[in-house]
């Protein structure tokens, strides 16, 4: 049995393209419809009610495209608006629980770091789930909100002074407390992996939410007999294309994005 409907992915901006990238790697024959709410980014600094409303609007848009599964490729939505998303008429995958399971499996000394947006940290979602698996774990939470605009503006090199200083500042608490596993709790952060490795050292395991989520998507589609056997087309929608979209999106996705595959939509008019 095969299902040719697309996988729907959404994020507050373009960071979720790092999740799309990992899904494409493990499911190259799946069609992808991606929506980035670039006109209202970032979600991480907004209140819970606003984040929930935005998430429902994003999901409504993807459902209008007849997707077979929705991925919230956004740590903020996954932590704040998860309960509301449980009622969707299609399977829903968030990025927090799967990354937590990966971190719990990876840690040796039970000292785990969370680097995420302020809204995600405030929700306590990662810490609560980690402690449910490892009650004696030490969890260190850091809000790395400044890293989001750096990535969005194309500052991604580990040698860039802005990136280097910001990363070293944010991970200092992890180093001071001998953390051996760090969850990159925002989809923008994997782009800065080399900077994190340099700042933390090779002995610290970095958890990429996109990798964890992509495996969950594959398992879910296989279990429900929804895999596509002959697709592979990718369509991108944004709420504001902006002037740097193509360059930033191509960096995050890891491949060139054709302008013809990108469409701007008014998400609030649906």
Spans of all domains in the chain = 7-94+211-269, 96-209
- The C-alpha atoms of residue 270 and residue 266 are separated, in whole angstroms, by 7
CA quadruple 242, 247, 251, 256: dihedral sign = positive
Predicted local confidence at residue 243, as pLDDT: 63
Q: Which of 221, 258, 263 is nearest to 239 (CA)?
A: 263
CATH 3.30.565.10 fits 96-209, yes or no: no
- The C-alpha atoms of residue 221 and residue 256 are separated, in whole angstroms, by 27
* Catalytic pick among 186, 195, 209, 226: 186
Which phi-psi region, left, alpha or beta, contains residue 154 (left: φ > 0; alpha: ψ -120 to 50)?
A: left
> What are the pLDDT digits (tens) for 115-132?
998 888 988 999 999 999
Q: Which of 261, 257, 249 is nearest to 11 (CA)?
A: 249
Which phi-psi region, left, alpha or beta, contains residue 242 (left: φ > 0; alpha: ψ -120 to 50)?
A: left
Predicted local confidence at residue 237, as pLDDT: 94
Cα distances (Å, whole numbers) of residue 198 to 165, 191, 192: 12, 13, 10
DSSP three-state, residue 1: coil
DSSP state letter for 108 = S
Joined together, the tokens standing for residue 218 give 């594959």
Within this chain, domains 7-94+211-269 and 96-209 share the same CATH topology = yes
Predicted local confidence at residue 244, as pLDDT: 67
CATH 3.40.50.1860 fits 7-94+211-269, yes or no: yes
Please, are residues 23 and 43 in contact by the beta-carbon 8 Å criterion? no
Q: Which of 232, 217, 270 is nearest to 16 (CA)?
A: 217
Q: To which residue do tokens 């429902």 refer?
A: 56
**Mean pLDDT per 10-residue segment, the chain (270 residues):** 92 90 95 94 86 94 97 89 87 94 97 92 92 98 90 87 97 98 92 96 95 95 94 92 74 79 86
Q: Reply yes or no on whether 171 is catalytic.
A: no
* Catalytic pick among 9, 27, 74, 100: 74
- The pTM of the full predicted model, rounded to 2 decimals, is 0.88
List of residues 6+ apart from 52 with CB closer than 8 A = 80, 81, 84
Predicted local confidence at residue 119, as pLDDT: 83
Predicted local confidence at residue 76, as pLDDT: 85
How many CB atoms are located within 10 Å of the residue 120 CB? 28
**Furthest CA-CA distance within the chain:** 52
Q: Reply yes or no on whether 186 is catalytic.
A: yes
By residue count, the chain amounts to: 270
CA angle 78, 178, 159 (to 5 degrees): 75
Please, are residues 24 and 235 in contact by the beta-carbon 8 Å criterion? no
> What are the pLDDT digits (tens) for 64-97?
999 999 999 988 888 888 888 888 999 999 999 9
């Amino acid at each position: 049995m095969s299902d040719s409907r697309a996988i729907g992915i959404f994020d507050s901006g373009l960071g979720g393209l790092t999740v799309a990238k990992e899904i494409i790697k493990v499911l190259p024959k799946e069609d992808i419809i991606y929506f980035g709410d670039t006109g209202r980014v970032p979600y991480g600094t907004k209140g819970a009610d606003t984040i929930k409303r935005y998430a429902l609007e994003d999901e409504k848009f993807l459902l209008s495209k007849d997707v077979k599964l929705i991925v919230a490729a956004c740590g903020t939505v996954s932590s704040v608006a998860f309960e509301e998303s449980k009622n969707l008429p299609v399977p829903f995958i968030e990025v927090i629980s799967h990354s937590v399971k990966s971190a719990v499996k990876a840690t040796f000394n039970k000292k785990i770091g969370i680097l995420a947006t302020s809204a995600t940290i405030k929700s306590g979602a990662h810490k609560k789930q980690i402690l449910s698996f490892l009650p004696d774990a030490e969890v260190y939470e850091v809000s790395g909100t400044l890293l989001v605009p750096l990535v969005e503006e194309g500052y991604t090199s580990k040698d860039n002074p802005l990136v280097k200083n910001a990363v070293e500042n944010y991970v200092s608490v992890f180093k001071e407390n001998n953390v051996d596993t760090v969850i990159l709790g925002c989809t923008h952060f994997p782009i800065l992996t080399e900077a994190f490795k340099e700042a933390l050292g090779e002995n610290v395991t970095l958890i990429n939410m996109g990798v964890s989520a992509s495996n969950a998507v594959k398992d879910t589609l296989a279990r429900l007999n929804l895999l596509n056997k002959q697709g592979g087309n990718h369509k991108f929608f944004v709420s504001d294309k902006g002037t740097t979209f193509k360059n930033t999106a191509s960096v995050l996705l890891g491949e060139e994005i054709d302008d013809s595959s990108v469409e701007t939509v008014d998400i609030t008019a649906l």
